[in-house]
Amino acid sequence: MTRISRSLVLGFSCLLLGLSLTASPLAAQTITVTSANPNNAPQGTVNLKVLVNGSGFKKGVISKFFISGTNDPGGIAVNSTSFVSSGQLASNISIASNAAPNIFDVVVQNTNGATGKGSQLFKVTTVPDPAIAYLANGALMVMNADGSSQTVILQPPNPKGSKHAAAVYRPNWSPDGSELVFESYIQGDGIYVINKDGSGLRKVIALNNGASLAYPVWSPAPAADNQWKIAFSDQVSGQLQNNLFLVNLDGTGLVNLTNLNEGEFYPTWDPYATRLAAQVYPCPPNKICPTRLYEYSLGVVNGAVGITSATDLTAASVALQSLNIFQVNWAKTQDKIALEARPLSNINDSTLLIVSLDDLANPLELTATFDTGAVGPSWSPDDSKIVYRRVVAGGKTIISVINADGSAVVDLANGDQPGWRRCCPTCVVECAP
């Protein structure tokens, strides 16, 4: 080989070597972004740690979130980015409360300028509407179904010298989940309505027997006269017994449904507002006897909504006859009633039962024993769970959720008297009976 040939070969080899040497740094700069965990969060989230996974990350790396396919941050602010490894970084982000729900890309950039993008890896969601209303420290509260976002919507006054430690009782949701009806002493004994955000407080009607025994419940549909109703228990003027009453939402159309010389308490509507169930105390005042569970069919009677038939459900169930029955709650989609039951031998013990109207003889006991202090059941929108109050060590009252088959008890919050809404305001199918 001539000197010229050797020179050409050597030069060509050096050129190839130079190309390979210059290609290696570019290859090393490649960044991939594959996933984000968590991959979603609601509006208003602050200081959320999001682990971003991929490859090619280096110390000093930064991250950005953009509405998918744009350079718009969409209300997500990246507070900081921390290098974890070449395959993972941690982004601390905050989401504006008015950020629109959107899908986001995640962009990662090293200090040398190399970037990588993962498409549609994160989602901003709306804040869940509150699902459960309850009482805590005398205040009317709401929270999400998982116990998060515990919020005071009404802190009632306790006037100096008042005998009432708490001024709010028994919250119950409107059918569309936008309002609550409850008992109160705020402006005199009565039934009140308030918006779920705490605005729009108004008094519907005054009560005769004090506001701790009315248990008002909003009809899930218009009644037989095409009016939405509130059913409640109140003492008949001049008598010592409580009867069941109906009233329109504006306080008109008051009707004494039962008009009997016996006590009726804890009314609850069926899913179509055609029936009520209630506890009946069939003894004269100041006498002690077992309670009963009654079902009342409703229709138009003499131009107003009235009872067309009454059925003693306890009569068909030996199991119920051995119990005292208290707070009852009709399922939201089916003919089942959850109730608080106490044995005749010990009125201080309680448990939760589910009674199927198709099988009254075989109620399902949910809480296993009669010593859990389980009271005040309220069904979830799909009837798969029940929220209730129980007593734990030290006498503390806890709001818990139990599956409708009696499994998987989950504690949510300290409090009392929980009520689960019938549906979410935007869920048309869920709202339908």
Q: pLDDT tens digit string along 251-279?
A: 999 999 998 878 899 999 999 999 999 99
Res 288: pLDDT = 75
From 149-158, 355-364, 398-407, the region with the lowest mean pLDDT: 149-158
How far is the C-alpha of 375 from the C-alpha of 341, rounded, in Å?
8
CA 254-165-187 angle, 5° bins: 40
Taking 80 as the threshold, does the pLDDT of residue 135 lie above it?
Answer: yes
Res 127: pLDDT = 66
CATH number of the domain enclosing 79 = 2.60.40.10
pTM (two decimals): 0.72
Range(s) of the domain holding residue 389: 317-433
Among 418, 342, 413, smallest CA distance to 380 is for 418
Residue 203 is assigned to a structural domain of this protein: no
Q: What φ, ψ does residue 21 adopt, rounded to 5°?
A: -70, -35
Res 426: pLDDT = 42
Q: Which of 78, 100, 125 is the last residue of a domain?
A: 125
Res 429: pLDDT = 40
Mean pLDDT over 125-153 rounds to 88
**Tens digits of per-residue pLDDT, 381-413?**
889 999 999 988 777 899 999 999 988 889 999
Res 21: pLDDT = 41
Residue 369 is assigned to a structural domain of this protein: yes
Spatial contact of 140 and 133, defined as CB atoms under 8 Å apart: yes
DSSP symbols for 191-206: EEEEETTS---EEEEE
pLDDT band at 185 (very low <50, low <70, confident <90, very high): confident
Res 373: pLDDT = 80
Spatial contact of 185 and 192, defined as CB atoms under 8 Å apart: no
Handedness of CA 33, 37, 43, 44 (dihedral sign): negative
Mean pLDDT over 203-215 rounds to 85
Identify the three-state secondary structure at position 433.
Answer: coil
DSSP symbols for 202-250: EEEEE-SS-TTS---EE-SS--TTS--EEEEEEEPTTSSSEEEEEEETT
Q: Which of 125, 142, 170 is the last residue of a domain?
A: 125
Count the neighbouring beta carbons within 10 Å of the beta carbon of residue 341.
Answer: 27
Taking 60 as the threshold, does the pLDDT of residue 354 lie above it?
Answer: yes
Residue 216 is assigned to a structural domain of this protein: no
**Better pLDDT: 386 or 22:** 386
Number of domains in the chain: 2
Residue 375 is assigned to a structural domain of this protein: yes
Q: Give start and end residues of each alpha helix (H) in 261-402.
A: 318-321
Taking 50 as the threshold, does the pLDDT of residue 17 lie above it?
Answer: no
From 6-10, 225-229, 336-340, the region with the lowest mean pLDDT: 6-10
Res 367: pLDDT = 76
CA distances, 318 to each of 266, 360, 367 (Å): 22, 9, 20
* Beta strand pairing call for 115-125 and 40-42: parallel
Residue 412 is assigned to a structural domain of this protein: yes
**Better pLDDT: 324 or 426:** 324
Taking 80 as the threshold, does the pLDDT of residue 16 lie above it?
Answer: no
Identify the three-state secondary structure at position 9.
Answer: helix
The enclosing H or E element of 110 equals none
Residue 84 is assigned to a structural domain of this protein: yes
**Better pLDDT: 165 or 275:** 275
CA 169-170-172 angle, 5° bins: 135
Res 285: pLDDT = 67
Q: Which of 88, 104, 125 is the last residue of a domain?
A: 125
Residue 36 is assigned to a structural domain of this protein: yes
Among 208, 253, 209, smallest CA distance to 231 is for 253
Residue 425 is assigned to a structural domain of this protein: yes
Res 26: pLDDT = 44
**Tens digits of per-residue pLDDT, 66-123?**
999 999 999 999 999 999 999 999 999 999 878 888 999 999 999 999 999 999 999 9
* Beta strand pairing call for 151-154 and 168-173: unpaired
**Better pLDDT: 20 or 282:** 282
Res 432: pLDDT = 41
Identify the three-state secondary structure at position 320.
Answer: helix
CATH number of the domain enclosing 326 = 2.120.10.30
From 231-240, 249-258, 278-287, 288-297, the region with the lowest mean pLDDT: 278-287
